[in-house]
Structures are given as structure tokens and as C-alpha cells.
Structure 1
Amino acid sequence: MGSSEEEAAAAEEEIMRCPGCVQERRKARRGGRIPYVEFFFVAVTTLASSLPITCLFPFLYFM
């Protein structure tokens, strides 16, 4: 009997760590507000990934 309870607890813990379930809990906790922190991270990442080509572009003519 103990093993079935352990299996159920392990299955419940696995569901709690599911990425989709984690995201749904975040959305419920946020309460419909706009996720500015996540938008900021995306904006910084986009800016950082475009900087190398922006720095090389003026010198591309001489290459």
C-alpha cells in the first residue's frame, strides 16, 4: 500500500514541475497584468544579439 501512495506523490510532484503547469501558475498569480519583466528580458536579449553586426557594419565596405 505504501508504494502506491509514493507513486501518487511522485506523479503529483512531476506534474507540479511540468513547464506548462509552472507557466499556468505564473499567469494565474499575475492576475492578467502585463509581464513587463519578461518583456524587458526579451528586449535586452534582442538588443545584445544585434550589437555585433551593428558594430561590424560600418567596416564591411573595407573587408
Structure 2
Amino acid sequence: VVGTGSGRFSEVQAMGEEHTFSRDELDSLLDLALKGISELVELQKALYEANTALGYWKRKGVKEARF
């Protein structure tokens, strides 16, 4: 799952060749993915703020990191 800091999906891949899953299970997996993405975005923001305070990055107004 690839998502944005605003909680939108940009890519989802799923495969159940040997063990299939239900719609409810897929929804649960997507909920977990969004939670993880949100946590990563917060860590990225904290890293950006810490490095900006030290003068490492000069860019202003960056809302999310893109790698």
C-alpha cells in the first residue's frame, strides 16, 4: 500500500493465491496500512523540523516528504 499524508491511497496490491481473504479482512489491512503511513508521515515531519532547526534544509512549506 502506498498512501499520502492526507490519508488517500495511491497504490494497493493484494494477492491471495493460497489463502484468500474477505472484504472485511481487506478493509482491516487497509486500516492498518493507513495507520502505519500516518505514523511514518509524522516521523518524517519531525525529522524535517529537527533538521530545519539545525539549518540542514532550507526549503519552506514542504507538507510531505517524497522519496
- Structure 1 length as normaliser, TM-score? 0.39
- Indicate the structure with greater strand content: 2
Higher RCO (C-alpha under 8 Å, 6+ residues apart): 2
Q: Which has the larger radius of gyration?
A: 1
